[in-house]
Amino acid sequence: MAETHVISALTSKRSELAGLAVFHNKEIDRIAEEVKALDATIKLFEPEYRISSIKPKRYQRKNQFFKHGEAHKLILDILRDAKTPISTLVIAEEAKRRKGLVIDDTALPAFKGSIGGVLARQRKQGLITEVGKDKGASVWAVA
């Protein structure tokens, strides 16, 4: 027979997630109604306007750790100051230290993901190069 504390924890988590789904579905319905109202208003002013030609804007979540462009500059500074190639993990630790951030275990993956995203964009722009791997982490240098 299953452990009662396990079942209790699982049902509690399921209840939490189901409530979150209901909340977000209501928010989606509310937003859809606002879009319909805007469509009707556009048609009121321009009956022949093709609503389908309006492309949705890409939603981009605001970075909670860096201001716009800050991580880009900080990472390049870290790589320049290092003099030798360094890994993604070292870059993340140094960025955290320079910003004076205290990041708990729940936010750490998002922080590392933010650093990884900037590194990928910088590589694509030709600013940095991946020169190898160290314990599974990419090692970077200024191009």
Give the mean pLDDT of 82-92. Answer: 93
Q: Look up residue 43 and give its two tokens.
A: 């048609």
The number of residues making up the chain comes to 143
Closest of 112, 127, 111 to residue 72, by C-alpha = 127
143 and 91 Cβ atoms separated by less than 8 Å? no
pTM: 0.60
Same domain, 74 and 127: yes
140 and 130 Cβ atoms separated by less than 8 Å? yes
| Number of structural domains the chain divides into | 2
Range of the domain at 121: 70-142
Same domain, 20 and 76: no
In angstroms, the CA 113 to CA 27 distance is 27
In a domain, residue 30? The reply is yes
Same domain, 39 and 78: no
Q: How many CA atoms lie within 13 A of 37 on its CB side?
A: 6
Share above pLDDT 70 across residues of the chain, in percent, rounded to a whole number: 99
Share above pLDDT 90 across residues of the chain, in percent, rounded to a whole number: 74
The confidence score (pLDDT) of residue 127 equals 95
Q: Look up residue 72 and give its two tokens.
A: 């880009």
Q: What is the distance, to the nearest Å, from the Cα of residue 103 to the centroid of all Cα atoms in its chain? A: 16
Same domain, 82 and 123: yes
